[in-house]
Structure 1
Amino acid sequence: MRTWAQVSSETPAWPSMMRDPLGVKGLGEVVHVGVAPAIANAVFNATGRRIRELPITAEALL
């Protein structure tokens, strides 16, 4: 079993052509896929009303 001190957190050393000028690779877009359904499920759990269209507004909940 490894401890946290033994786990390396270094980035790989291979070059990548898919970076912007700051060196960012843009992995943040991947997590956006599940955000809207998660919020819609939270609204359903809180209100009991299923919303199937965006944007979720107060009028849609009435």
Structure 2
Amino acid sequence: MPCKTDLYFPPEDSENEMRYLKFAKLVVIPSIWGHMAGGGVNAEDDKFLQSEIKKFLEEP
């Protein structure tokens, strides 16, 4: 999952990659932590990630 403020791998790059993935879903992490988002630095980011991963795995 890209972060909306990631300067290394911006969400726009992931949008382009989606064309090549049959069963993909793009979810952008709404965080100010940029490239570090989801790395355990911020509890809100972790909660968001866990929630989105759970939703994805529960989809048919």
Which structure is richer in relative contact order (CA contacts within 8 A, separation 6 or more)?
2
TM-score, normalized by the shorter chain, greater than 0.5: no
Normalized against structure 1, the TM-score is what? 0.22
Normalized against structure 2, the TM-score is what? 0.22
State the structure with more CA Rg: 1
